[in-house]
């Protein structure tokens, strides 16, 4: 893609635009964030309104040397960007191209790994929390969260029947040794322990649920049905499909002399999308998969941005990047997955054959797929109004509280530390704001000692 076309799309996960060279800390944060996430380009010489103003050509070499020094002095481990100039519409801009690094995590030298690691979320740089830092370290070693041993559970205390039953359904035997061969069970000092993938598959993780809702109309203002499925992953899949069937229309189809009925959105496409969400979501995040049925669309939202630098274009071209290696292998062994990298292209073909609009989006730190329920008259429907944005917010509530409410559009919970990061404020102010929100019945506190977090209440009175 030409640089001018990239600029016209505006800032995003892999692009930052600056009118002039930013401050040293600001530049370093963006460089670190790109290196830890998907790489990206910083273009200097473009205003916020996307107008290309260029730079003084007499200072180009001076600026390039300064950029190199800032990155070398402030970032660790060493980051080696490509710094070059491009003439865009007769004006010269500097491009700092950053590639995803292999020495994760990257961080600001003066703040250290725990307080100076940044990631790119949408068009912003976000300070990585401890779990994210650990995840980056796992990625450096080529490990996934789901293959790590979990010492909080003992094998004899687990009910393994759900997995055994899945193998029996396809005519395969399964036993303890089978689970070891699939790396669902490992040995530590001659003791068998489960890995996270086994616990996730069996439904022992609280955030492995699927929340479903049927809303009236085209917004989240009013729902007519909702269900939460929190069993093992296989039950969650089947129960969610059943929920969708219950709220989708049947249409008649004549094949030869036979009249058959089928759902307005083919079940095979919905199942493929749900499988993608279940297998590839980020199970570190304290959030569930959400399935929403509106009058005009069906939307499936999966926690976690696309992993390891992969893009939506890569996925469309058949590239597969496994965030949960053991879990994915289990589902493939059970026949849920035919081949890596064909799921999205299969969905697109099915939707194309049935005149259904389908799109896949990455919004901050979650991914959504959307199926149209009817062919839009023109263009593609905008994302439905969310429950948070639909609320009537009291006039006396400050902008800071509105920012906290906005956070719930992409997460099921929030912590005091996250409030401090969002608002760039001290702990005392964050605590006061959270207290005001509880008094006004907007949120409730889930108290788990040092793991205290807050969740959104139902529509306040």
Task: Kindly tell me if the per-residue pLDDT of 428 is higher than 90.
Answer: no
CA distance 41 to 14: 6
Kindly provide the b/e burial profile for residues 272-282, where b requires at least 16 CB atoms within 10 angstroms of the residue's own CB: bbbbbbbbbbb
- Confidence tier at 226 by pLDDT (50, 70, 90): very high
In tens, the pLDDT along 258-288 reads 667 789 999 999 999 999 999 999 999 889 9
CA distance 407 to 305: 15
Percent of the chain with pLDDT strictly greater than 90: 67
Query: What pLDDT sits at residue 46?
Result: 96
Query: What pLDDT sits at residue 443?
Result: 85
Tokens standing for residue 221: 């203002």
In tens, the pLDDT along 81-110 reads 999 999 999 999 999 999 999 999 999 999
Whether the CA torsion 217, 220, 225, 226 is positive or negative: it is positive
Look at strands 366-372 and 297-303 and give their pairing.
antiparallel
For 264-273, 381-390, 406-415, which range has the lowest pLDDT when averaged over its residues?
381-390
CA distance 52 to 40: 19
CA distance 422 to 249: 42
Q: What structural domains and CATH numbers belong to the chain?
A: 3-140 (3.30.950.30), 207-372 (3.30.565.60), 399-456 (1.10.10.10)
For 2-6, 102-106, 243-247, 363-367, which range has the lowest pLDDT when averaged over its residues?
363-367
Residue pair 72/53 in contact by the 8 Å Cβ criterion: no
In 310-387, where do the E strands start and end? 358-363, 366-372
Quote the pTM value. Answer: 0.76
For 31-40, 43-52, 115-124, 332-341, which range has the lowest pLDDT when averaged over its residues?
332-341
431 vs 370, residue with greater confidence: 370
For residue 105, give the nearest of 137, 142, 128, 138 by alpha carbon. 137
Residue 322 host element (H or E): none
Percent of the chain with pLDDT strictly greater than 70: 91
For residue 266, give the nearest of 348, 145, 189, 204 by alpha carbon. 348
Q: CA dist 370 to 102, 215, 254, 269, 367, Å?
A: 33, 15, 27, 11, 10
DSSP H helical ranges for 38-117: 60-74, 112-116
Query: What pLDDT sits at residue 401?
Result: 85
């Amino acid at each position: 893609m030409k640089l001018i076309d990239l600029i016209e799309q505006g800032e995003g996960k892999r692009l930052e635009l600056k009118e002039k060279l930013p401050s040293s800390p600001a530049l370093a944060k963006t460089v670190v964030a790109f290196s830890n996430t998907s790489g990206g380009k910083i273009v200097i010489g473009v205003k916020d309104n996307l107008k290309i103003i260029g730079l003084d050509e007499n200072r180009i070499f001076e600026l390039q040397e300064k950029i190199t020094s800032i990155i070398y002095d402030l970032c660790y481990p060493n980051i080696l960007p490509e710094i070059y100039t491009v003439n865009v519409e007769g004006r010269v801009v500097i491009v700092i191209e950053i590639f995803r690094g292999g020495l994760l995590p990257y961080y600001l030298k003066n703040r250290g790994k725990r307080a100076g690691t940044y990631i790119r979320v949408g068009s912003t740089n976000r300070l990585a929390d401890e779990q994210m830092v650990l995840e980056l370290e796992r990625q450096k070693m080529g490990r996934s969260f789901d293959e790590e041993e979990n010492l909080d559970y003992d094998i004899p205390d687990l009910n393994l029947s759900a997995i055994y039953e899945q193998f029996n359904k396809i005519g395969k035997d399964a036993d303890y040794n089978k689970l070891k061969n699939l790396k669902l069970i490992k040995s530590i000092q001659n003791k068998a322990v489960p890995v996270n993938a086994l616990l996730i598959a069996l439904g022992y993780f609280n955030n492995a649920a699927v929340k479903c809702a049927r809303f009236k109309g085209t917004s989240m203002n009013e729902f007519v049905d909702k269900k939460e499925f929190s069993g093992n992953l296989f039950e969650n899949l089947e129960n969610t499909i059943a929920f969708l069937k219950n709220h989708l229309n049947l249409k008649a189809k004549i094949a030869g002399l036979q009249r058959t009925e089928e759902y307005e959105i083919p079940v095979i496409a919905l199942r493929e999308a749900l499988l993608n969400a279940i297998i590839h979501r980020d199970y570190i995040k304290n959030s569930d998969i959400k399935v929403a049925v509106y009058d005009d669309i069906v939307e499936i939202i999966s926690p976690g941005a696309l992993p390891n630098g992969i893009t939506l274009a890569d996925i469309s071209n058949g590239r597969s990047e496994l965030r949960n290696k053991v879990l994915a292998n289990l589902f493939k062994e059970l026949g849920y997955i035919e081949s890596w990298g064909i799921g999205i292209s299969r969905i697109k073909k099915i939707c194309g054959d049935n005149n259904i609009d389908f799109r896949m989006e990455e919004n901050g730190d979650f991914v959504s797929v959307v199926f149209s329920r009817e062919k839009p008259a023109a263009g593609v429907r905008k994302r439905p109004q969310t429950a948070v944005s639909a609320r009537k917010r009291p006039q006396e509530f400050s902008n800071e509280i509105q920012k906290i409410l906005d956070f719930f559009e992409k997460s099921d919970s929030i912590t005091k530390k996250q409030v401090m990061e969002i608002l760039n404020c001290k702990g005392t102010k964050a605590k006061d704001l959270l207290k005001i929100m509880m008094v006004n019945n907007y949120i409730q506190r889930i108290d788990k000692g040092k793991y205290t977090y807050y969740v959104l209440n139902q529509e306040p009175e």
